[in-house]
Amino acid sequence: MPRIMKKKPSKSTMLKKKKKRARIHEQAKCRFCRDKTREVDYKDIPVLSKLITSQGKMFSRNRSGNCAFHQRSFKSAIKRARFLALMPYMA
Ligand SMILES: [Zn+2]
């Protein structure tokens, strides 16, 4: 995307920049570790649908906040759910 020439910052915009944004607190543990679930259930549609985009793609580990073990478990669960037509391959 072509970059448009920036306006010279006036005093009012400079003041706006100084405002600090509230940081989103990152949780230390992944959601499945917190619930102490060993394996992600492929029948648990509300949980699975929280971890996919509107297009039906899976969220990355960085985006979902899952640990490696549960991300792998989630991956196979969503593939199982897709095969059983519980989740969409794409939407
Ligand atoms: Zn975990």
Distance 78 CA to ligand 1 centre (A): 16
Residue 66, judged by CB atoms within 10 A of its CB (0-12, 13-18, 19+), counts as buried
Q: How far is CA 51 from CA 26, 42, 54, in A?
A: 16, 12, 10
- Stretch 42-57: mean pLDDT, rounded? 93
The percent of residues above 90 in pLDDT, for the chain, comes to 62
Contacts of 61 (CB under 8 A, 6+ apart): 67, 68, 71
pLDDT of 29 = 85
- Stretch 61-78: mean pLDDT, rounded? 93
CA distance 13 to 36: 47
Distance 18 CA to ligand 1 centre (A): 37
Ordered domains of the chain (ranges, CATH): 37-91 (4.10.640.10)
Read off the pTM: 0.68
Distance 12 CA to ligand 1 centre (A): 46
pLDDT for residue 63 is more than 80: yes
Distance 36 CA to ligand 1 centre (A): 8
